Structure 1
Amino acid sequence: MGTQVTSRINLAVPSARWLWQKSTLKEPTVLQSFAFDDANKHLYVLQLTRGGGDAGDLCLNKLDHQGKRLGHMYLKGFGHGVSLGIQRDADDGSTWIWTEADAEGGYGQGVARFHFANGAVRTSADVKVRRPVPDSVNNQPSVCMASKRIAVRYRDASDEPRYRVWDLDAFVARDYDNPIADFAQTGAHPDPKIPFQGYALHRDHIYQLAGTAYHAKANPAAKRGNAYVSSLDITTGKRAQGERTEAGYSLGFREPEGIAVRGGTTPRVYLGFASGEQGARRFSIFVKKEGES
């Protein structure tokens, strides 16, 4: 690929509320990841089903931009829902959903795409599972329609997380031999022990979220949490920026969950946070936007 790198989104700008403490997801669990279908003004949100973590059972929610649920479907044995991709089909204008698939130990060992079907229940046997990185595990996709690329986060034989990026048309055609980039995941959090909470591909950068829920000793609410957002340059594999974020610091529980990018004239990063009591979780989404706090 060329040496010219597209502008990255500035993560140092303040975060503004976009959706606040919504309880509209089908399951009472936390959100895991989310992505935008801007052409239809829809927001898709993945969450684990109650008690479905070990099996990799997911619920996919379809929402409008006010957070109202328009429908849902169940994905049995797909994975953990670490990331989510939305592809707009250039031929028929339909929306493809990309998720991990073929769960083992609660995480998808491949990826798959399918159309949303309200009320449907699907298993990994119902979709064509792709395994683009031989001998890898824990495959998790993200799609950038601005650059028409797809990324897959995976773990190699040494159990280290990596990213691989392809041209989307080539990937759909199952041509995996000429990736645009392949590099180790790095810079997700200053403390490597802090859990990774999602990523999103946008043009020449990958945006990452990491952090834990509030904890009286390890992560007290009084210090406004340990959530951290970062970006990686896919042309070099190196960290471009990293910032601690206090978005949603007043939330109870406050666990960072999911990150997405909306393109357009002014691309913006969106951050997800879970709140509320166990068995009755809520979700909030913040947007990093110049001129707002």
Structure 2
Amino acid sequence: MLTAGPAHADVDDTPKFKLNGNGGNPVWRRTLHQPYWAMQSFAFDSVNSQIYFAQHKVGGDNGDLWLSRTDLSGTVLSTMAIHGFGHGSSMGVESAGVGTPPFIWIESHSVNDAGTRIARFRWSDGAELNTSSPTIQNRTPTVSTFAHSPRPAFDPHYGRMLFRYHSGSGSRPWRLALFSQADAVAGRLGDGTRLTERAIPTNQELGLTDADLFQGITACGRYAYLLFGGTNRSSYLVTLDMNATADSYVEKYLTSAGESLGGREAQGIAIWRVNGAPRLAFGYSSRDTSTTPDSFEASVFYKSEFL
């Protein structure tokens, strides 16, 4: 049974978000570039006060995604089309400076609509990108416990990159590995450079059901934050200590954010920095039934208090 990988050092202690604390709702029922594709994930370019969203075609299986660059209220500013990348279940945005397009981190090289690698590429307004493009850098983890299905999340406050992936075996096959931003950008993603690694508890260990779908991961300092939920189902935030192992978790919180949304489904979680302080942002896809067919909308909420 997998409980921990090769020996590694713990990360320094940091504050953790208060999941029942105060926050806000900067994006409410905004239509992204493709109204009939559902939002799957998002991430912030906090340096330029913008959000990047990934949309996937409902029922699609070829890994095509629309990416939208928006302002902080969700108004679309520009888009990219990326072909054959995956489902878009998690993404990271690596800010590159004021007025400079960031780098996007997202699953790529789709097989049956699931990405098998991690791609890093520069954002380009209006561009179309295939997985064969020479501008794409492969940033797939090479830790010894990695088997398949890598997904990235960026911690812009502490300058780190978190990867969720499947180890291929064990009672808790899904794992997390944390790296410094510098090592991740350089492609140093093996056992010798990771900061820490741990297993993700199963849904049963978290007190969830199989219908409570995993919908996103992010990190801020010592802690990882997970989002769970299904269509028109309860939604949960979960805190994991990256220095702990196996079945342990710090907190599980049933959130009422966006409960009035029709077809509400948890989709995406990310860290947003405002005036030098991090916020824990999490999102929902919903349906606008006034259109034919139903169109999709995106909403984003955040928590800003710490324990």
Q: TM-score, normalised by structure 1?
A: 0.87
The one of 41, 46, 70 equivalent to 2:49 is 41
> Counterpart of 2:48 in 1: which secondary structure?
coil
Equivalent position of 2:156 in the other structure = 145
The verdict on how the C-alpha distance between 1:77 and 1:279 changes in structure 2, with shifts beyond 3 A counting, is: farther
Q: Of 151, 154, 158, which residue of structure 1 is paired with 2:169?
A: 158
Contact 2:56 2:87 in 1 (8 A): yes
Q: Is the 8 A contact 1:150 1:168 kept in 2?
A: yes
Q: Match of 2:111?
A: 104
Q: CA deviation at 1:4?
A: 3.7
> Could you tell me which of 108, 118, 139 is aligned with 1:130?
139
Return the match for 1:176 from 189, 195, 202.
Answer: 189
1:18 aligns with 2:26: yes
* Equivalent residue, structure 1, for 2:4: none
Q: Matched residues, percent identical?
A: 28
Evaluate the alpha carbon distance shift between residue 90 and residue 203 of structure 1 in structure 2; reply closer, same or farther with a 3 A threshold. farther
Q: Distance in 1 between matches of 2:139 and 2:29?
A: 36
In structure 1, the residue matched to 2:257 is 247
1:202 matched to which residue of 2? 220
What is the one-letter code of the residue matched to 1:131? Answer: T
The answer (yes or no) to whether the contact 1:5–1:235 under 8 Å persists in 2 is: no
Cα distance in 2 for residues equivalent to 1:170 and 1:268:
24
Measure how far apart 1:157 and its partner are. 1.5
**CA apart distance, 1:84:** 0.9
Deviation at 1:169, TM superposition (A): 1.1
- State the shift of 1:12 in Å: 1.5
Q: Which residue, 52, 59, 62 being the options, matches 2:66?
A: 59
Letter in 1 for 2:119: A
- 1:158 to 1:125, Cα distance in 2 relative to 1, 3 A: same
Q: Which amino acid aligns with 1:57?
A: D
Assess if the C-alpha contact under 8 Å between 1:45 and 1:62 holds in 2: yes
**TM-aligned CA deviation for residue 128 of structure 1:** 2.8
- Asked if 1:186 corresponds to 2:201, the answer is yes
Pick the aligned partner of 1:76 from 74, 77, 83.
83
Listed one character per residue, the Cα deviations across residues 2-56 of structure 1 (whole Å, up to 9, x for unaligned) are 664100111112553221111133342221001110111110000113553x111
Counterpart among 215, 228, 234 of residue 236 in structure 2: 228
Cα distance in 2 for partners of 1:130, 1:35 equals: 18
Greater Cα shift, 124-133 or 36-45:
124-133
Work out whether residues 38 and 58 of structure 2, in 8 Å CA contact, stay in contact via their aligned partners in 1.
Answer: no
Q: SS of 2:53's equivalent?
A: strand
Q: Is the 8 A contact 1:197 1:208 kept in 2?
A: yes
Q: Give the Å deviation of 1:91.
A: 12
CA RMSD of aligned residues (A): 2.3
Cα separation, partners in 2 of 1:5 and 1:289, compared to 1, 3 Å: closer
5+ residue gaps, structure 1: 215-224
Q: Per-residue CA shift, 1:247-288, capped at 9, x if unaligned? A: 111111111111112135442211211111464011111122
Per mean C-alpha deviation after superposition, the further-off stretch among 122-131 and 183-192 is 183-192
Do the aligned residues in 2 keep the contact of 1:83 with 1:142 (CA within 8 Å)?
yes
The runs of 5 or more residues in structure 2 that have no matched partner are: 1-8
Residue 221 of structure 1 corresponds to which residue in structure 2? none
Q: Structure 1 residues 240-249 or 258-267, which shifts more?
A: 258-267
Larger mean CA deviation between 279-288 and 33-42 belongs to 279-288
Q: 1:78, CA displacement in angstroms?
A: 0.8
Q: CA deviation at 1:155?
A: 0.7
**What number of residue pairs does the alignment pair up?**
279
Query: Contact 1:56–1:78 (CA<8 Å) still a contact in 2?
Result: yes
CA–CA separation in structure 1 for the residues paired with 2:44 and 2:239 = 19
CA distance in 1, matches of 2:304, 2:220: 16
Once residues 71 and 92 of structure 1 are traced to their aligned partners in structure 2, the CA distance between those partners, rounded to angstroms, is 14
Q: Which moved more, 1:83-92 or 1:21-30?
A: 83-92
